[in-house]
Structure 1
């Protein structure tokens, strides 16, 4: 018997973070605590963004109890759980609740690791200890706030960055960023589906001249109509025309293209391969359905000779950020790794025990039980907007 507690949380940011699609001033997420009959717990998380998977906190809370029961239909053994989750994601359907699946997947994986007294990294096949080198993200915003962020990155010795584009004066801003951070930094860009086809080709040529090594998700897509609980079925716009347009752009791009909003389930990964639409898959646990399905997408990329990255949703808490670190240890051939933005964004925290981030963005994952995290239950209650409990 496993009890699931679903907490919808809202955490304000110290400062807003913006890109071409959205400006974020707070985190809304679903925190899941899975507790077995012996009192052993596992922690999970989902961070929905409608412009990515189409999901909302409300749509997750609506479907998560059903998914939890379905995940355990074959028993509590981790292999059986992952098989059930995989069947849900790969069933013939226009919709895949990727964020909701991530919430269940991560909580049950952490629970099983704690039961076995081993780490999530070991459960996933990672070699420990493992040192990861993190990239940081530079959003769109006013120059004074951006300068403060850049100076903090420089002081921390960060060398690898994602820079958001799709605003005004992108190219002047990139030159300015290099002057602040140094000519030897590595930069890739993210347009968050801002540009049309011809505009994208022109901008890619300029980005390449500025030493930007790759571009994430540049082409504009329409938003599908809203359905129940605010859910947007983004699979409707990831259609044949979408993939053919990216194939057209990839043939003309001077730098590699990274799939992000176009990658939300295993079928979209297969579409990317079939249409030769992208060069690199940006795997983020919350939008890709958790650890098992993310691993499946990485295997699809490897088989096709494509690269992949292990990245994160902006502002996710220490729970999902730490799962992401453990996950990355099992896929050491990643192009880059991102996460832990909560360390600079969140005004309040309710998790202790996360691994330390050292100079240069270096984070060492050690052998721990589960994720090695402890929840401050009072702190969690302070940021909880709603709470639901089910027992399976």
Structure 2
């Protein structure tokens, strides 16, 4: 296979509702789309979500990375083997630009699999997807009235697992926890995400204890990488710690102190630097006895949801929760069809979608996608 072109387009899709947490509030996607075309007439698509507070990436850094490597990728990548060789040769640059590389890698995997007339799972030597996949409800750091309304919507469809965002405002967080209590939600089904609210572990401990709520796990209460302090916090709160911003590469897992049972890794394909790296992290977590959440950036489209399904399937034995799959429940439109969304009980049943009989990731771009994205500007 020969690559004819690689193009980069911004994805700026309005949300149906805004979403707020301690690090950001957004009402539109902040993603990039890569379109890879072959001389043989095939097209592949990939998505990446740069977040400066997660990986240090910006829109500008994504464009710079793409332009730096576009010509070399077109010249060198002809099959899965040469793609892996390119990744090994550029490991350090990918470390610094994981979301930018994610968009490129997913597009190239999609293209290669389509060229071979096989699914991405087939290209990677993995079993075909088999559902259902069960997703957690995610509740933002809103006022209690809005929180209660969102919770009721989730309960109506039978969602069973919940993740709530903490704001650091005792009245707001306490009010939202009161809503959970009054709804009869078992704390064992509730994870909290603090989005790196505190740098002082003592302040974090005192605040979380003041909430008087036995969360099943607490995600990123401290600044990224404060592993020793996080281990002490897990002990003092008798809970597990979910690592998100603190783990963006496989080699960081070696820094975790203490027992593996106190840690859960939130594995998001974009921040990990693509699907191949995500699978490697999942395998290393299994080897180390670490549990996984297969997570998602707010505003991911079905392109990244589909990629995350590969990881969730491959690591089912260590995955305790999945996040994402909001599709057009959150987005005004989804650039790929079918739009992958959870339904009743938070389940996404992929069996009827027959991805094993569809080349690549098995998704079709919506008509006029490129024109829609170019309305906001592009790099091509």
TM-score bracket for this pair, using the shorter chain length: 0.7 to 0.9
Q: CA deviation at 1:98?
A: 0.7
Which residue does the alignment assign to 1:111? 111
Alpha-carbon distance change, 327 to 257 in structure 1, aligned in 2, over 3 angstroms: same
Residues 1-392 of structure 1 correspond to what in structure 2 (within 5 A)?
Answer: 1-2=2-3, 3-69=5-71, 75-89=77-91, 91=92, 96-124=96-124, 125-168=126-169, 169=171, 170-180=173-183, 182-183=185-186, 186-195=189-198, 196-205=200-209, 210-220=213-223, 238=225, 242-272=226-256, 279-333=263-317, 334-355=319-340, 357-365=342-350, 366=354, 367=356, 368-384=358-374, 385-389=376-380
Q: CA deviation at 1:273?
A: 6.0
Structure with the larger strand share: 1
Q: Alignment partner of 1:261: what SS?
A: coil
Structure 2, gaps ≥5 residues long:
none
The superposition leaves residues 335-378 of structure 1 with CA deviations (integer Å, 9 ceiling, x where unpaired) of: 21111234322123332223453311111233232222111242
Q: CA deviation at 1:10?
A: 1.2
Q: Alignment partner of 1:6: what SS?
A: strand
Alpha-carbon distance change, 323 to 95 in structure 1, aligned in 2, over 3 angstroms: closer
- Whole-Å Cα distance in 2 between the matches of residues 13 and 188 of structure 1? 24
Structure 1, gaps ≥5 residues long:
222-237
**1:121/1:330 contact within 8 Å kept:** no
- Whole-Å Cα distance in 2 between the matches of residues 308 and 27 of structure 1? 25
Q: CA deviation at 1:69?
A: 4.8
- Whole-Å Cα distance in 2 between the matches of residues 343 and 337 of structure 1? 18
Q: Alignment partner of 2:159: what SS?
A: coil
Alpha-carbon distance change, 181 to 362 in structure 1, aligned in 2, over 3 angstroms: farther
Alpha-carbon distance change, 71 to 296 in structure 1, aligned in 2, over 3 angstroms: farther
**1:156/1:360 contact within 8 Å kept:** yes
The superposition leaves residues 149-182 of structure 1 with CA deviations (integer Å, 9 ceiling, x where unpaired) of: 2222111111111111133232331231243364
Q: Alignment partner of 2:298: what SS?
A: coil
Number of residues paired by the alignment?
367
Q: CA deviation at 1:184?
A: 7.8
Q: CA RMSD in A?
A: 2.6
Which region of structure 1 is more displaced relative to structure 2, 169-178 or 28-37?
169-178
Q: CA deviation at 1:103?
A: 0.9
- Whole-Å Cα distance in 1 between the matches of residues 94 and 123 of structure 2? 31
Q: What is the TM-score with the length of structure 2 in the denominator?
A: 0.87
- Whole-Å Cα distance in 2 between the matches of residues 218 and 356 of structure 1? 29
**1:244/1:277 contact within 8 Å kept:** no
